[in-house]
Amino acid sequence: MSSRTSPIGPSITIRRAVARDAKRLTRLVRGSSAYEGKYAAAVAGYRVGPDYIEAHRAFVAVGADEQGGRVLGFYSLVLSPPELDLLFVADEAQGRGVGRLLVAHMQSEARAAGLDSVKVVSHPPAEGFYHRAGAVRIGTALANPPAVLWDRPEFEFRVPPE
């Protein structure tokens, strides 16, 4: 897949994020039910700003609707060192394959950039998703108070050549 708009099925498109997406992406992160309870503090003040979008390979999955497109999820790929920095799927879009589409797109972008693997430090509730999406557990990132108060599973996506 290219960095341009890529249609995925009849109603979902993955495209490069742009600065005007920043507020919607921030709302998606802060509103994620995966960060309720003891995890809420991790995203309470989190901001996906236009500067972040400009600095990283950020892509959004957009669903077609009467408003011209609704953000269903997004990811950010950092090339050096290779890491899937963010991956969020809107609560109402979970279980519909959006996360898998974003992972497949990320792997294609990583392959195009010449990477053979991409690391992920996962949010604990997302561990099962990463297993199902094909990532391999490689370790544990220890808690780093006050920013992160819990250990997190580390995964790696292998990026096979085409």
97-62-56 Cα angle (round to 5): 95
pLDDT digits (tens, 9 = 90+) for 9-42: 558 999 999 999 999 999 999 999 999 998 998 8
pLDDT in tens, the chain (162 residues): 444 445 455 589 999 999 999 999 999 999 999 999 989 988 989 999 999 999 999 999 998 764 557 899 999 999 999 999 999 999 999 999 999 999 999 999 999 999 999 999 999 999 999 999 999 999 999 999 988 899 999 999 999 888
The rounded mean pLDDT for the chain is 91
What whole-number distance in Å separates Cα of residue 77 and Cα of residue 106? 7
The whole model's pTM is what? 0.89
H helices present in 60-148, as ranges? 98-112, 127-132
Which two structure tokens, joined as six digits, stand for 109?
Answer: 């972008």
Cα dist from 3 to 13, 14, 15, 77, 157, whole Å: 12, 9, 7, 12, 19
